Structure 1
Amino acid sequence: MSVQQATEVTTWVLDDPEDVREAAEALAAGRAVAHGFGNVYALTFRTDRETVERVNRIKGRPAGRTAGLVTVPERIPAAFDWTRLPEGVPWQQVRSLTDELLGLGPIGLRGPAADRVPGPLVATDGGARTVRVVVPGTRCPSHAFLGAALARTGGDFLAVTSANRAQEPAHWRADGLVDEFGAEPEVRILAPADEEAARRRHPFHRPTPVSVVSFHRTAGHTRSGLPVLVLERHGSLSADHIRAVAANHGFGLAAAPHAVAPLTPRAYGLA
């Protein structure tokens, strides 16, 4: 059941099936939906270029900026071209690694983009077509909304970005989200009924955008000969935790120079 905030902005409830249906219909009609995403909020929207550019402008960043890709867990493998992994990186081990990371909570995965990935979600790195898949993890109830939105758009993928204006940290509280985007006619808000409970589902994650692990290229090998994957963003899940999980699946992990320091959560003033 939707609720009214003090600013008279309607906030749909992520745990309410009717609200989820309305949010999915709003997305299919071209709106962006700011919704619970693990222990933070994300903006999810259609993948066509016009919508991606409009959301980029809403956020205050260049219209042509590449968006991330989000989908339900069973469709994640379809986003990647598994034939273009680096030499010596077995796809079975990458799949098992990503499955374990998804079980922990929200995560980002960059790999070779499948041909079916929409153009506004494809980036180029060293001549390689890549896609950054950003997902809330299997513990997050937002999969009901994502599934409903995919059913209404008729595709396998949606576009996603963090819920913030350019150069600002992502929101992890609904009241801050309402203050930021509540007056924006192109954005709808879908929040957990209990934000604290939503965050407790992900005890290893801080309230920041996701950490992003890349496997379209490697950073050499460990002393024992394991291929080293790249941490391209040090976000909600710590580098040490990801490194330990990666080792369980036969990989090392190295942080890119800009990803050595973790992201800082947004600070909110006293109510």
Structure 2
Amino acid sequence: MSVQQATAVRTLVLGDPEDVREAAAALAAGRAVAHGFGNVYALTCRPERDAVEDVNRLKGRPAGQPADLTTVPERIPSAFDWTRLPDDVPRQQIRSLAEELLGLGPIGLRGPAADRVPGALTADDDGVRTVRVVAPGTRCPSHAFLGAALALTGGDFLAVTSANRSHHATGRAHEPAHWRAAGLAGEFGADPGVRILAHADEEAARRRHPFHRATSVSVLSFHRTAGRTRSGLPALVLERHGSLSADHIRAVAANHGFGLALAPHATRPLPPRPYAAGSPRATSAHTVFPSVS
């Protein structure tokens, strides 16, 4: 996409009620919305399988790959089947841990899926039907958009994925999520199936989440444990080492009676997306974002 094409992209803005309503209506009508999500951007769509498959193709992923689930904070507990927790994972302690992590910012939580979760948002892990809930955290203004989209779709859940092209499409091992709307517009702005709902102020969005790096969310799973720590605490599994550091998650987990084990592929944190030197840094509301590619 050229700079001239990118500058023609009309970008909606989080925090503007009319823009939020327009983006929610576009999602309800079947389009994907690339929107501010914590300190980065995410791509959200309806949770039905055909919508998820369309977004997977857009990203260059296999069409049948499950999406993550997102929703407003008060509906997150209903995504999980709390009766299927391991015996050494008390429900109330997990819920209080999740609430603290969500209070800090964007996070992913993987657990046993409730029966009502659409199949396109679930994955089987050795006989356990799981769902990965990815939320922007309670400090993010995107909840107004998510709530409006849920009201129009008539459901409790939406599908979400990182705002990037997949490594299947680019040939690179990992393609980090966008954290600048300029880059987002350059990559997705020309697609008629995508609307862009940008942070009103990207610098402020990052300041709002001082413990998080500008990359995809960390994902903590609790549908099974990884034994016990030396002090005897049941160890939850960090399955993706993203924006919130393993050390920070370990400290928060300990406050709620859990240890932390890192999955083999989570020993090294995901890097933020690098942008070209000298590329524009558009951060203000109602700015038209040129390409940074």
**Smaller-chain TM-score bracket:** over 0.9
Residue matched to 2:111: 111
Residue matched to 2:59: 59
Residue matched to 1:74: 74
Paired residues for 1:131-210 under 5 Å: 131-167=131-167, 168-210=175-217
Query: How far apart, in 2, do the equivalents of 1:225 and 1:264 lie?
Result: 32
- Give, in angstroms, the shift of residue 224 of structure 1: 2.2
Matching of residue 87 in structure 1 with residue 87 in structure 2: yes
Query: How far apart, in 1, do the equivalents of 2:89 and 2:6 lie?
Result: 52
* 1:256 alignment partner AA: A
- Give, in angstroms, the shift of residue 193 of structure 1: 1.4
Residue matched to 1:11: 11
Deviations 1:20-68 (A, max 9, x none): 0000000000000000000000000001111000000000010000000
Local SS of the residue matching 2:138:
coil
Conserved in 2, the CA contact under 8 Å of 1:110 and 1:131?
yes
Residue matched to 2:128: 128
* 1:73 alignment partner AA: P
Residue matched to 1:99: 99
Deviations 1:155-190 (A, max 9, x none): 000000000001221100000000000101111000
Matching of residue 264 in structure 1 with residue 287 in structure 2: no
Residue matched to 2:241: 234
* Number of residue-to-residue matches in the alignment: 268
Deviations 1:174-228 (A, max 9, x none): 0000000010111100001111001110000000010000000100011222110
5+ residue gaps, structure 1, are: none
Local SS of the residue matching 1:10:
coil
Residue matched to 1:212: 219
Query: How far apart, in 2, do the equivalents of 1:94 and 1:193 lie?
Result: 33
Conserved in 1, the CA contact under 8 Å of 2:101 and 2:107?
yes
Conserved in 1, the CA contact under 8 Å of 2:6 and 2:185?
no
Conserved in 2, the CA contact under 8 Å of 1:38 and 1:136?
yes
Seq. identity, %? 81
TM-score by length of 1: 0.98
Query: How far apart, in 1, do the equivalents of 2:88 and 2:63 lie?
Result: 37
- Give, in angstroms, the shift of residue 7 of structure 1: 2.2
- Give, in angstroms, the shift of residue 6 of structure 1: 5.3
Query: How far apart, in 2, do the equivalents of 1:6 and 1:180 lie?
Result: 9
Local SS of the residue matching 2:123:
strand
Conserved in 2, the CA contact under 8 Å of 1:221 and 1:252?
yes
Matching of residue 27 in structure 1 with residue 34 in structure 2: no
TM-score by length of 2: 0.90
Local SS of the residue matching 1:116:
coil
Conserved in 2, the CA contact under 8 Å of 1:79 and 1:113?
yes
Local SS of the residue matching 1:95:
helix
Q: Aligned-residue CA RMSD in angstroms?
A: 1.0
Deviations 1:111-161 (A, max 9, x none): 000000000001000110000000000000000000000000000000000
Q: Which runs of 4+ in 1 moved over 2 A?
A: 4-7
Residue matched to 2:288: none
Conserved in 2, the CA contact under 8 Å of 1:85 and 1:216?
yes
Local SS of the residue matching 2:11:
strand
* 1:149 alignment partner AA: A
5+ residue gaps, structure 2, are: 168-174, 280-293
Conserved in 2, the CA contact under 8 Å of 1:5 and 1:11?
no
Matching of residue 246 in structure 1 with residue 218 in structure 2: no
Conserved in 1, the CA contact under 8 Å of 2:6 and 2:189?
no
